[in-house]
Chain A
Amino acid sequence: MLEIKGLSAEIEGVQVLRRANLSLAEGATVALIGRNGAGKTSLLRAIMGFMKVTEGAISFDGRPLDSVKAHLRPRLGIGYAPEDRRLFSSFSIEENIRLPAEVMKLPAAEVARRLESIYAVLPELAELRHRPAAGLSGGQGKMAALARALMVGSRVILLDEPFQGLAPVLANRYAAALRTLRDSHPDIALLITESNPSLLRSFAEKAYAIERGEVSETALAASSLAAAGLH
């Protein structure tokens, strides 16, 4: 469904992705493992259309994405939860979650249906829905960012280091929410970046390692990751 072939990208003249290849099938859960600065965020931002791509291509359902403007990509069903959450602080949590639906002018019934399914995956957000996003803790903010990505991501969800900075209890809670999502929406593909592969071992079925912008397929078993110097 989502194919990245020979993708290179740069930020202010510095190459951050080097001929990266990655493939994401419908309903798959794929991990992208790498150290800080390896290019994980750049790859996700390239998918969303925020990077200057110098060579290679990204296609979605066989259609090249480079001709699709960044703001039109969410309409293809691609949801994105950035690492630093980036919620809109002057809105409430539910206003944040509803925003993409409002922008895409989804019918009210469809928005209600999606909200219900989001709150089924993340029940703690239902209680906090009217709270201002500015007052959320780190863990709550990550969940709200996941919820917002779910509102738009009917096909693919890109999660950038969702466990980063979470206390162990919250990380477990977040992982449990991802498992619920996996069960309730088996057709949505998940691409999750992480620097600590052990967190993803329990539910990712395929993994890529990224190092200095180069992507290679890897196994999630502890030994092979250790061999790759990532664990």
Chain B
Amino acid sequence: MLLLAALDGLAYGSLIFLVAVGLSLIFGVLGIINVAHGSFYAIGAYVAAAGVLAMGAMGLPAWLAFPFLLVAAALVGTVVGGVVEIVLLRRVYGKEEVLQLIVTFAVFMILEDAQKVVFGVQPYFANAPMNWLGTVDVFGIYYTKYQLILMPLVALAVLVGLRFFLRRTSFGRAIVAVTQDREAATAMGIDAAKVYLITFIIGASLAALGGALASATTSLTPGIGAGTLVLSFAVAATAGLGRIEGAAVAALLIGLGRSVAVYFAPEFDVLIPYLIMMLVLLVRPQGLFSTVQTRKV
């Protein structure tokens, strides 16, 4: 029973990790708590579902949906994320946090309505990619390979890829330098404005990727962005904002905690992530993996 809960939690944790790590990366580099992050998740999900449905209607092979999910996420992150950063966020860097919160909250509200205008309020369900991959039998219970294998693999690839990108590539090191000291990094010739933009696009794309992957497993209705945003906040806060590996551990912890609750105490299912966050923050207010007053990618 516990193993089954663990397998459920793995898929759930992977999804939340993708969204939370984007949120955490954006906070770590730009210093902004991005409430609009949930919108990138929702728009990624809607664009992916609409695309997969359209591809099905055109009779295209089902496997094409997988590269499409990636393309949809990158597209949403680049276009929507890019516009939000260039048009709005640029004006509020270094300003009071309350102003940044209000601006990103306003973006969230606008994008919520924009989703309703573009995609309507009817549920979207595009599970073709999940069905195409088939199922796997674990002790007599059938799991979809999509949730049990693909989603954790994507999350793992993102974690390893991000670590490699930030530590081993030239642009990754520029991001780390700007995070530590924007002015000193600029004096080294680093274009901090470009670093901010690209970091925001990467973070937004990761949220959109979470949404695109989730779109095959659930029906999409207005409001999915808000729920995921709050959960990813819980993960990022539990880990300590700005910590990438920490977000992975916290996402797994919260994913597992929630699945165990579903099996053993379903009435606490919704409460568990926040209970874990509260307990962690009571003992370590800076989060599991942060040291006080440091900010790292």
Contacts and interface: CB of A to CB of B under 8 A. Distances in A.
A97 to B, nearest CB: 10
A203 interface: no
A72 B187 contact: no
B180 A88 contact: yes
B170 A103 contact: yes
A90 B181 CA distance: 12
Interface string B106-147: 000000000000000000000000000000000000000000
A184 B206 CA distance: 50
Given A90-B296, A95-B173, A103-B174, 7 more contacts: A50-B186, A71-B186, A71-B189, A71-B192, A72-B189, A90-B180, A91-B173
Contact of A86 (B176, B181, B296): B181
B265 interface: no
Given A88-B181, A102-B173, A148 B296 contact: no
B269 to A, nearest CB: 39
A146 B179 CA distance: 21
Contacts of B191: 69, 71
A103 B181 contact: no
Most buried by A among B185, B189, B296: B189
Interface of B: 170, 173-174, 176-177, 180-181, 183-192, 296
A125 B235 CA distance: 41
Contact of A103 (B176, B189, B296): B189
A48 interface: yes
Given A90-B296, A91-B173, A99 B188 contact: yes
A104 interface: yes
A100 interface: yes
Contacts of B180: 88-90
A161 to B, nearest CB: 15
Most buried by B among A50, A88, A148: A88
A50 B189 CA distance: 13
Interface string A60-88: 00000000011110110000101000111
Contacts of B189: 71-72, 74-75, 100, 103-104, 152
B188 A48 contact: no
A82 B187 CA distance: 9
A155 to B, nearest CB: 14
B177 A88 contact: yes
A229 to B, nearest CB: 31
Contacts of A71: 186, 189-192
Nearest to B294: A89
B184 A82 contact: yes
Most buried by A among B181, B184, B296: B184
Contacts of B190: 71, 103
B13 to A, nearest CB: 27
B186 A70 contact: yes
Nearest to A87: B184
A147 to B, nearest CB: 12
Most buried by A among B173, B183, B187: B187
A88 B176 contact: yes
B181 A99 contact: no
B8 to A, nearest CB: 36
A11 B24 CA distance: 31
A34 to B, nearest CB: 21
A158 to B, nearest CB: 9
